[in-house]
A and B are shown apart, each in its own frame.
Chain A
């Protein structure tokens, strides 16, 4: 059972992000980067599939700056076998829209042997939900998104999607694309031995040619600060006033 898992280097949710001086990107300094949490589920799914099948390789593929090598190492430390980094040009500072990313990944993926191709369902920084399905389309592979349960059999896999109000179980022929949702599994954390052996695992770096921007970010703004709560009154007597304010001030009714 060979799998490829695509991972992204994203800012840690715990860092307070600030808008950079150009007003179009977040301030890079003081920001910690991590392996996208949804991708962690995807990595874990690949590792479990390999363990269950008893053979196969897990390859980690990432598109990003040179520092993304560290993100790949994190997945290697969890137990993946090899890594490939499609390195973006540091001078290239345009926004790569999901389809451009998908094209770049797909070009490389076409050359790789795989049964399972995993993504996180979204990257927590730009939240486009798009790269996985776009790659599946470009490769002409079946795709299941929002996967909350998964089991691979030889040549086939079952995946359960959790959608509003119900669960849908699906079966799909392999190779296929899967996008992990939260709760799919409990991603393992790297043992110290794993971290040390990750250093010795192969990591190939490919320079990515600069493309042209198709979608442009024009402005980045922080959401308005939450306003402090207010006491309107207590008990039933306060309800009419609450309703009036919700209607007239907050305009939510």
Chain B
């Protein structure tokens, strides 16, 4: 039974049991989106950022518009010099140390601000990689795992942009299977150094980095992380790779021949390096998500601007139905990805903040707080990078032949976008992370979906949802539909988990299907939370557009969830033991009818969205 509570003036929903769960922020949990929506006033959203956040965004925007975008061509032509100059300038402005504690020269601000700024930084694809690799995967291992001495030695200069960093994990024979690296470290007989041999490949920033966070195996067995200084004898760089996009970022291989790394430069313990590498990626994925959002916004705005000015058949092409449909779909994708990134980042920040507030906290606890959201970070990476590819493709299409020309910024954006589905873990690997993590947590009892599953099974049995549509919201039907999708989703997740528990490895398509369900539910959940927030918060933001975007998200991703659920069940059914196969077949039918919803007038919905976007001339702003 879902109980709807009340908030001042309106009547949306609080659930008592979840309320107590969020009472202490240290207990803010991952995967909360599978539960009914709990409306909260302190949601992190583009609409809820503070005035200070806004000023910081202005700084990042000015930096991009005055110093980076005008030099994009120069960055491609002379990447080593220009990258360094830009990093140094970003350091002066404070952009490189947002989350680094003040004692190491950073600003010591929360996770949110750092994420937010990435939206602006991402407007130039190459520079976004330069700064992203430096502040993210390059610097964070030292922030989280470094000794005090390592932090003091490197962080202040990294934060200022005086030193540049890179992260060297991938090898020719170890890509997705990163744990199979061959790079080998052997302790010197006198115990002062490790002697390292091996080859790293496709290392972002390699051409100008001063330090590399290097993964190697001690004695060829124990995965360990080191800080390698560039000018150590025995380090050589390969030539610059000739890439499809992000051509202003340096990508090279790194050859290590009897390189001596002092023991003091080992990060963490021997054999624990995979923790460093994998946790690093959790944050990296979130960062990638935010980065991608800036691209989506910029591209949608570029398409709106171009279409308003370009005339064919005597009319601006923005007036044609198929072009308007593109605007609406691009906005829906952007809105979904954006909502997902912000809502999750807000929750992570809350939990991390609560951990950091305790004077005796350890880095391990901070990482644990982030790891709690491993499902969210991986799903954001996948969802946002795919949204970007959708948006960039349609933005190019709106530009027609001009979009194919080098002089048009969309041409470059199109090439720059593609890498996001490949690095920071390919989208395939991240789908495995989403579904695998979730199932593992359910099977080990770490995530208790039991009551939720019972509730789901009961409502599938009866076909009744038993919740009253809350008064005062314009998205009542969408909230009900999402709750139905979630229950069906939880039900299927549990069934699939039971049936395939011991052979999930060999059931990749099942994991992929589940991951897609989970990601789409998360996107819908976040989008509707955002609409509720806007509805319930005073201010003149144009609630209609938000409501329509929320409806659009449900109308786009809801059917995809439904299709995946039916496919998953159809596959799972024959694998069930005969006794219960019957029940499952019944459920398959029930699931379908449980999810049956009145048809949505998508043409009209898209037209409304497109008209409002055209009238504003741009997508939503912060």
Chain A contact residues, CB within 8 Å of chain B: 16, 28-30, 32, 70, 73-74, 77, 189-196, 198-199, 228
Q: Are B56 and A192 in contact (CB under 8 A)?
A: yes
16 example contacts (A-B, Cβ-Cβ < 8 A) are as follows A16-B616, A29-B541, A29-B542, A30-B541, A74-B58, A189-B62, A189-B93, A190-B58, A192-B56, A192-B93, A193-B94, A194-B94, A195-B52, A196-B107, A198-B55, A228-B311
Q: Are B542 and A73 in contact (CB under 8 A)?
A: no
Q: Are B617 and A195 in contact (CB under 8 A)?
A: no
Bound complex: CA of A190 vs CA of B541, how far in Å? 27
- Chain B contacts of A74 at CB under 8 A? 55, 58
- Chain A contacts of B437 at CB under 8 A? none
- Chain A contacts of B55 at CB under 8 A? 73-74, 77, 190, 195, 198
8 Å CB interface, B30-66 against A: 51-52, 55-56, 58-59, 62-63, 66
Which residue of the partner chain, among A32, A70, A189, A199, contacts B621 with CB atoms under 8 Å?
A: A32
Bound complex: CA of A193 vs CA of B541, how far in Å? 30
Listed residue (A73, A194, A196) with the most chain B CB atoms within 10 angstroms of its CB: A196
Q: Are B56 and A189 in contact (CB under 8 A)?
A: no
Bound complex: CA of A194 vs CA of B58, how far in Å? 13
B95 within 8 Å of A (CB atoms):
yes
- Chain A contacts of B177 at CB under 8 A? none
For the complex formed, measure the closest distance between the CB of B403 and the CB atoms of chain A, giving whole angstroms. Answer: 23
Check A191/B94 contact, CB under 8 A, given A16-B616, A73-B51, A199-B52. Answer: yes
Q: Are B59 and A190 in contact (CB under 8 A)?
A: yes
Binary contact readout B71-110 vs A (1 if CB under 8 angstroms, 0 otherwise): 0000000000000000000001111001000000001010
- Chain B contacts of A194 at CB under 8 A? 94
B190 within 8 Å of A (CB atoms):
no
Bound complex: CA of A6 vs CA of B56, how far in Å? 23
- Chain A contacts of B51 at CB under 8 A? 70, 73
Instruction: Give A12's nearest chain B residue, CB to CB.
Output: B621
Instruction: Give A198's nearest chain B residue, CB to CB.
Output: B55
- Chain B contacts of A189 at CB under 8 A? 58-59, 62-63, 66, 93
Check A192/B621 contact, CB under 8 A, given A29-B542, A30-B616, A77-B55. Answer: no
B242 within 8 Å of A (CB atoms):
no
- Chain B contacts of A16 at CB under 8 A? 616-617
List the 5 shortest-distance A-B pairs measured between CB atoms, nearest first: A192-B94, A29-B540, A189-B62, A191-B93, A195-B55
Bound complex: CA of A16 vs CA of B618, how far in Å? 10
- Chain A contacts of B617 at CB under 8 A? 16
Instruction: Give A192's nearest chain B residue, CB to CB.
Output: B94
Bound complex: CA of A74 vs CA of B95, how far in Å? 17
Check A192/B95 contact, CB under 8 A, given A16-B616, A32-B621, A74-B55. Answer: yes
Which residue of the partner chain, among A30, A190, A228, contacts B540 with CB atoms under 8 Å?
A: A30
Q: Are A30 and B542 in contact (CB under 8 A)?
A: yes
Bound complex: CA of A73 vs CA of B95, how far in Å? 19
- Chain B contacts of A32 at CB under 8 A? 621
For the complex formed, measure the closest distance between the CB of A89 and the CB atoms of chain B, giving whole angstroms. Answer: 20
- Chain A contacts of B59 at CB under 8 A? 189-192, 195
With A30-B542, A73-B51, A192-B95 given, name 8 new contacts (CB 8 A).
A189-B58, A189-B62, A189-B63, A189-B66, A191-B94, A192-B56, A195-B56, A198-B55
Bound complex: CA of A190 vs CA of B109, how far in Å? 16
- Chain B contacts of A199 at CB under 8 A? 52
Bound complex: CA of A141 vs CA of B109, how far in Å? 45
- Chain A contacts of B542 at CB under 8 A? 29-30
Binary contact readout B504-543 vs A (1 if CB under 8 angstroms, 0 otherwise): 0000000000000000000000000000000000001110
- Chain A contacts of B540 at CB under 8 A? 28-30
- Chain A contacts of B616 at CB under 8 A? 16, 30
Instruction: Give A34's nearest chain B residue, CB to CB.
Output: B58
- Chain B contacts of A29 at CB under 8 A? 540-542
Bound complex: CA of A192 vs CA of B98, how far in Å? 8
For the complex formed, measure the closest distance between the CB of A212 and the CB atoms of chain B, giving whole angstroms. Answer: 29
For the complex formed, measure the closest distance between the CB of A64 and the CB atoms of chain B, giving whole angstroms. Answer: 15
- Chain A contacts of B58 at CB under 8 A? 74, 189-190
Instruction: Give B542's nearest chain A residue, CB to CB.
Output: A30
Instruction: Give A27's nearest chain B residue, CB to CB.
Output: B540
Bound complex: CA of A200 vs CA of B75, how far in Å? 38
Bound complex: CA of A198 vs CA of B617, how far in Å? 33
Q: Are B63 and A192 in contact (CB under 8 A)?
A: no
For the complex formed, measure the closest distance between the CB of A15 and the CB atoms of chain B, giving whole angstroms. Answer: 9
Q: Are A192 and B62 in contact (CB under 8 A)?
A: no
For the complex formed, measure the closest distance between the CB of B243 and the CB atoms of chain A, giving whole angstroms. Answer: 31
- Chain B contacts of A198 at CB under 8 A? 55
- Chain A contacts of B95 at CB under 8 A? 192
Listed residue (A30, A192, A199) with the most chain B CB atoms within 10 angstroms of its CB: A192
- Chain A contacts of B56 at CB under 8 A? 192, 195
Instruction: Give B63's nearest chain A residue, CB to CB.
Output: A189
Instruction: Give B60's nearest chain A residue, CB to CB.
Output: A192
For the complex formed, measure the closest distance between the CB of B334 and the CB atoms of chain A, giving whole angstroms. Answer: 18
Instruction: Give A195's nearest chain B residue, CB to CB.
Output: B55
Instruction: Give A199's nearest chain B residue, CB to CB.
Output: B52
- Chain B contacts of A193 at CB under 8 A? 94, 107
Bound complex: CA of A195 vs CA of B51, how far in Å? 10
- Chain B contacts of A73 at CB under 8 A? 51, 55
Bound complex: CA of A196 vs CA of B108, how far in Å? 11
Instruction: Give B107's nearest chain A residue, CB to CB.
Output: A192
Instruction: Give B55's nearest chain A residue, CB to CB.
Output: A195
- Chain B contacts of A228 at CB under 8 A? 311
8 Å CB interface, B573-622 against A: 616-617, 621
Bound complex: CA of A208 vs CA of B107, how far in Å? 37
Bound complex: CA of A191 vs CA of B62, how far in Å? 11
- Chain B contacts of A191 at CB under 8 A? 59, 92-94
Bound complex: CA of A189 vs CA of B55, how far in Å? 10
Instruction: Give A67's nearest chain B residue, CB to CB.
Output: B51
Listed residue (A29, A191, A198, A228) with the most chain B CB atoms within 10 angstroms of its CB: A191
Bound complex: CA of A77 vs CA of B95, how far in Å? 15
Bound complex: CA of A149 vs CA of B372, how far in Å? 57
Listed residue (B55, B92, B542, B621) with the most chain A CB atoms within 10 angstroms of its CB: B55
- Chain B contacts of A190 at CB under 8 A? 55, 58-59
Bound complex: CA of A236 vs CA of B320, how far in Å? 37
For the complex formed, measure the closest distance between the CB of A173 and the CB atoms of chain B, giving whole angstroms. Answer: 36
- Chain A contacts of B107 at CB under 8 A? 192-193, 196
Bound complex: CA of A70 vs CA of B542, how far in Å? 23
Binary contact readout B225-265 vs A (1 if CB under 8 angstroms, 0 otherwise): 00000000000000000000000000000000000000000
Bound complex: CA of A73 vs CA of B50, how far in Å? 13
For the complex formed, measure the closest distance between the CB of A201 and the CB atoms of chain B, giving whole angstroms. Answer: 13
Bound complex: CA of A206 vs CA of B617, how far in Å? 38
Bound complex: CA of A116 vs CA of B107, how far in Å? 34
Bound complex: CA of A199 vs CA of B59, how far in Å? 16
Instruction: Give A69's nearest chain B residue, CB to CB.
Output: B51
- Chain B contacts of A77 at CB under 8 A? 55
For the complex formed, measure the closest distance between the CB of A9 and the CB atoms of chain B, giving whole angstroms. Answer: 12
For the complex formed, measure the closest distance between the CB of A102 and the CB atoms of chain B, giving whole angstroms. Answer: 28
Bound complex: CA of A74 vs CA of B59, how far in Å? 10
- Chain B contacts of A196 at CB under 8 A? 52, 107, 109
Bound complex: CA of A43 vs CA of B616, how far in Å? 32
Bound complex: CA of A199 vs CA of B98, how far in Å? 17
- Chain A contacts of B98 at CB under 8 A? 192
For the complex formed, measure the closest distance between the CB of A147 and the CB atoms of chain B, giving whole angstroms. Answer: 23
Bound complex: CA of A244 vs CA of B586, how far in Å? 82
For the complex formed, measure the closest distance between the CB of A85 and the CB atoms of chain B, giving whole angstroms. Answer: 14
Bound complex: CA of A196 vs CA of B113, how far in Å? 12
For the complex formed, measure the closest distance between the CB of B549 and the CB atoms of chain A, giving whole angstroms. Answer: 16
Bound complex: CA of A221 vs CA of B311, how far in Å? 27
For the complex formed, measure the closest distance between the CB of B407 and the CB atoms of chain A, giving whole angstroms. Answer: 22
Bound complex: CA of A73 vs CA of B59, how far in Å? 13
- Chain B contacts of A28 at CB under 8 A? 540
For the complex formed, measure the closest distance between the CB of B582 and the CB atoms of chain A, giving whole angstroms. Answer: 57
